[in-house]
Amino acid sequence: MRFITRDTDYALRAMVLMARALRQEGRKVFTVEEIVLEEKLPKVFLRRILQKLAEKNMLLSYKGKSGGFSFLVKPARISIANVIRVFQGEIELTNCLLKGKICPNRPECKIRKKIKALNSRVVKDLENINIEELSE
C-alpha cells in the first residue's frame, strides 16, 4: 500500500537536509545540485519538487547565479501532513466505503462517521511531526 509517494519522500529528505545544515552550520540557501549530490536524488525531478514547495510558500527560491532555495517557513512549522498535501492532495483514507445504493451517502451514516473520525486522527498525528524534528 503506497501512502507516501516518491515526491513527498524526496521533498522530506531535501528539507530535512536543509534543516539540519541550517541548524548546525547556519546555512540558508541550497542549490538543487548540492542537495542532489548529498542525497543522490534525480536532479530535474527534485528541482520540480522544490519549485512546487516554493510555489506553495514553504520554500523561497532565488533565481539566477548563486541562486537556490531556502526556507520561507521555519522547519519546525512544516508538518508531514503539509508536505503530503502538496504532492498528494488532501489526506483522505477514504470518506466513504460503500457509495451508491448499498449505503446511501447520508450524513448520518455511522460507518462514514467512524471512518472520518479515524481519518482526522491520522491527519492530526501527521500534523504533529515536523521537519525540524525529523532533522534531529
Applying CB under 8 A, which residues contact its own copies? 1-4, 9, 12-13, 16-17, 39, 80, 84, 88-94, 97-98, 100, 102-103, 110-111, 114-115, 118, 121-122, 125-126, 129, 133-134
Residue 62 or 129: the one with the smaller Cβ distance to its own copies is 129
Print burial letters for 57-70: b (CB count within 10 Å at least 16), e (below 16): ebbeeeeeeeebbe
Is residue 54 at the binding interface for DNA, with CB under 7 A as the rule? yes
Q: Which of the residues 90 through 119 are near DNA (CB under 7 A)?
A: none
Residue among 105, 118, 127, 129 that touches ligand FES (CB under 6 A): 105
CB 39 within 8 A of CB 14: yes
How many other CB atoms are there within 10 angstroms of residue 77's CB atom? 12
Is residue 98 at the binding interface for ligand FES, with CB under 6 A as the rule? yes
CB 61 within 8 A of CB 51: yes
